Amino acid sequence: MTIGDHPPPLHTSLSLVNKLYSVYNIASLVSVNIDVDKVNYSAWCYFYCANFGVLQHIQGDETNTSSSTPPPPTTEWLTVDFIVKSWIFLTLAETLQGRLIKAKPTTEKDAWEHVEKLFLDNKHTRTISLKGELRMIQMGDLSVDAYFHKIKYIATLLHDLGSL
């Protein structure tokens, strides 16, 4: 190597498995624990998918619609699936963890879809209820700040349900 030569670039790109293993504390990266009482499903989805690039793994390979049997999962896919499924459990409120454990999801996609159903299955009924609550809000003894916070909270819940 001469004085003007540069060393070859180091390849520091990590595989998805290595990136996932490097996460020490999932709660520090997904700052929202999903909870039925808080109805924060969309915020949880955003932080979960945005931080790790696991959306393709969650949704599965929907481009392969051939009728042939899909190839068996690779060791890397199984490892990613286990890590992501564990993270789903770790970012749920305790009451939801129990429900998911009873459902016994075999893959991370099963776990994701089960959580999704918990929040979106009663979407129509919940939307009607929240819109009624929004119409009935009265300032009463609330401060202006508390009054608008309550309106904003209901609007956020409606947005999470795709109804706003």
pLDDT tens, position by position, 130-153:
999 999 999 898 999 999 999 998
Residue 15 · residue 76 · CB < 8 Å: yes
| Cβ atoms within 10 Å of 116's Cβ, excluding its own | 13
Q: What is the pTM of this model?
A: 0.66
Most confident of the following: 117-121, 136-140, 156-160: 136-140
56 is written with which tokens? 């393709």
Summarised one tens digit per residue, pLDDT across range 58-109 is 776 655 555 577 778 888 888 888 888 888 888 888 888 999 999 999 988 8
| pLDDT > 50? residue 11 | no
26 is written with which tokens? 């999932």
